Amino acid sequence: MTAIMIQGTGSNVGKSMIVAGLCRAAKLRGLSVAPFKPQNMSNNAAVTADDGEIGRAQALQALACGLDPHTDMNPVLLKPETDVGSQVVVNGKRLTTAKARDYAKLKPTLMQAVLDSFNRLNAQHDLVLVEGAGSPAEVNLRKGDIANMGFAQAAGVPVVLCGDIDRGGVIAQIVGTQAVIDPADAALVRGFFINKFRGDPTLFDDGYQMIKDHTGWDGYGVLPWFADAWKLPAEDALDIRSAPSKDGVHIVCLKLSRIANFDDMDPLSQEPGVRLTMLGAGQPLPADTDVVIIPGSKSTRGDLAFLREQGWDTDISAHVRRGGHVLGICGGYQILGHRIDDPDGIEGLPGCDIGLGLLNINTTMTGDKRLTQVDAIHAPSALPFHGYEIHKGRSDGPDCARPFATIGNHQDGAISADGRISGSYLHGMFRDDAFRAHWLGQFGVTQTAAYDQTVDQVLNDLAAHLDTHMDLDAFFAITL
């Protein structure tokens, strides 16, 4: 049984995408391969078949492997709720909410859960490709580490470093990492590769050799910039961006401060007849907006206040008066109602917040969390789609008599009497090509893309990209 761990010289160097590409490349070589990330931090989560949640990147990597997502692929998930605290999810279920200092004390107790998940995957597959978190050069975090070298030492897994040349200083990134980490940790490193090179990679030949000479590590290649990376679901909110400029229906998604499950927008961004704008803080709603989407949030009450701080409540009211449409998803659905009651302080201090009042509903926050995949029927069109729920709280009111969808005997969401304001707790609805085509058809879009087929092709292209520019035969042969 074999495992290889990709660690980065920093955050956002492309580890998640590279592991997805390596997973697909291994699968195309006939290997049984699975992804693994000991600890992830993301508010973009995927719901697994066993009704747990893992980071969205591991769900994409599972797809690259031809596997269903499983909680073993990401046993510890941190979901930031404030600037200083996160929800701690272990084996797919919420364990607690902890501030950073408290989590540092909790973290060592989670190593056994991490190793148990890893060992189960390792026993089932020829290869496990492990993704680190942040950087092993953050040696101040080494004590009790379960995400990088702490895990690699405990599991006996060799490490390959990924450096990001696009941000500059890649020689110092890699050589400096070797200089600051413990020699025992450095002994686990089998080599490095360079990511995000723009232009002719041979221009870096001298720098590449310098890294090899200074570290004594093997080099596995220099990867040129992969232009289609934007077509793969992004996990980090820093990565979400507006679609390339084009004509078509103008959909504006509010980039909330605690935006969650924002990959709901990915299928829309790839549509040829859609112009998607991710509206950032301080930016007014464009006058030519056709549809406003208020996305999911890890802190609904906090993001309702954030929305008002930007003046977006006033902009949305004007948009609706002009005949515009609004869709709220999950936390965004709750924001559209009259009230959000939080008597037990689920999202902070107990209290009640006044919503936008665009849907005649009220929401009560509850401690129980609904976490499940669903097969739903869109009520207005009777079209089926697959999605998932991942939320706390329940909503009800007169507009719920016009549900957005039905799930068996259960009704979801609400639609205003004039049909222009709608809300749903269901994520992932736009991945379904037929549903998305219908929904966009309301706004005059006639040509639509095949989303899952596109993602699968991009994974194949990414695997070919890695095969061309990395020595994958040597990489897959790495052992301790």
DSSP labels, 89-120? EETTEEEEEEEHHHHHHHGGGGHHHHHHHHHH
Q: Do residues 348 and 97 lie in contact, with contact meaning Cβ atoms separated by under 8 Å?
A: no
Same domain assignment for residues 271 and 140: no
Residue 388 placed within a domain:
yes
Task: Indicate whether 295 belongs to any domain.
Answer: yes
In the predicted structure, residue 458 carries a pLDDT above the cut 70? yes
Q: Is residue 16 assigned to a domain?
A: yes
List, in order, residues 6 or more apart from 318 with CB less than 8 Å away: 285
Per-residue pLDDT tens digits for 372-390: 999 999 999 999 999 999 9
Residues near 419 by beta carbon (within 8 Å), at least 6 away in sequence: 380
* pLDDT tens figures, 254-264: 999 999 998 89
Residues 225 and 256 in one domain: no
Q: Which of 287, 269, 270 is nearest to 278 (CA)?
A: 269
**pTM score over 0.75:** yes
CATH of the domain at 18: 3.40.50.300
Both 368 and 222 in one domain: the answer is: no
What's the confidence (pLDDT) of residue 101? 83
**pLDDT tens track for 170-216:** 999 999 999 999 999 999 999 999 999 999 989 999 999 999 999 99
Average pLDDT over residues 26-43: 96
- State mean pLDDT over 419-444: 96
What pLDDT does residue 235 have? 65
In a domain, 408, yes or no: yes
pLDDT at 91 > cutoff 60: yes
Query: What value does the mean pLDDT of the chain take?
Result: 94
Contact 219, 192 (CB under 8 A): yes
43 band by pLDDT with thresholds 50, 70 and 90? confident
Same domain, 343 and 406: yes
- Whether 349 and 419 map to the same domain: the answer is yes
- Looking at the fold, whether 391 and 426 belong to one and the same domain comes out as yes
> What's the rounded Cα separation, in Å, for the pair 123 and 227?
36
DSSP helix, strand, coil percent of the chain (3-state; round to 5)? 35, 30, 35
C-alpha dist (Å) from residue 420 to 12, 49, 118, 416: 38, 33, 47, 6
Name beta bridge partners: 386. 375
Q: Does residue 51 surpass a pLDDT of 60?
A: yes
For 289-305, write each residue's pLDDT tens digit: 999 999 999 899 999 99
Residues contacting 152, CB < 8 A, separation 6+: 5, 7, 130, 158, 159, 185, 188
What residues pair up with 94 in beta bridges, in sequence order?
89
Per-residue DSSP letter, 28: H
Q: Does residue 12 fall inside a structural domain?
A: yes
pLDDT tens by residue, 53-77:
999 999 999 999 999 999 999 999 9
Residue 461 lies in a domain: yes
Helix intervals (H) in 278-361 = 300-309, 312-321, 331-335
d(CA 164, CA 459): 20
- Check whether 471 has a pLDDT greater than 60: yes
pLDDT of residue 247: 79
Considering the domain architecture, whether residues 12 and 143 belong to the same structural domain is answered as yes
Query: Which residues are marked as active site?
Result: 330, 427
Question: What is the DSSP track for 346-404?
Answer: TTSSSEEEE---SSS-EEEEEEEEEEEEEEEEETTT--EEEEEEEEEEEEESGGGGS-S
Has residue 209 been placed in a domain?
yes
Write the pLDDT tens digit of every residue in 127-159.
Answer: 999 999 999 999 999 999 999 999 999 999 999
Q: Answer yes or no: is pLDDT of 415 > 80.
A: yes
Same domain for 122 and 59? yes
- Residue span of the structural domain in which 327 resides: 249-444
Length of the chain (residues): 480
Do residues 193 and 267 share a domain? no
Whether residues 434 and 463 share a domain: the answer is: no
> 276 and 402 share a domain?
yes
Q: What is the mean pLDDT of residues 346-366?
A: 95
C-alpha span between 77 and 72 (Å, rounded): 11
Q: Is the pLDDT of residue 102 over 90?
A: no
Q: What is the CATH number of the domain that holds 291?
A: 3.40.50.880
- Domain total of the chain: 2
Half-sphere exposure of 192 (CA within 13 A, CB side): 31
- Tell me the mean pLDDT in the region 6-32: 96
315 burial (CB, 10 Å; 0-12 / 13-18 / 19+) is buried
The pLDDT assigned to 241 comes to 57
What pLDDT score was predicted for residue 321?
Answer: 97
Residue 345 lies in a domain: yes
pLDDT at 84: 64
Specify the range with the lowest mean pLDDT, choosing from 80-94, 177-191, 306-320, 380-394.
80-94
Q: Are residues 200 and 298 in the same domain?
A: no
* More confident call, 279 vs 83: 279
The one-character DSSP state at 412 is E
Question: Phi/psi zone of residue 352: left (φ > 0), alpha (ψ -120 to 50 degrees), beta?
Answer: beta
Count CB neighbours of 160 within 10 A: 23
CB 126 within 8 A of CB 51: no
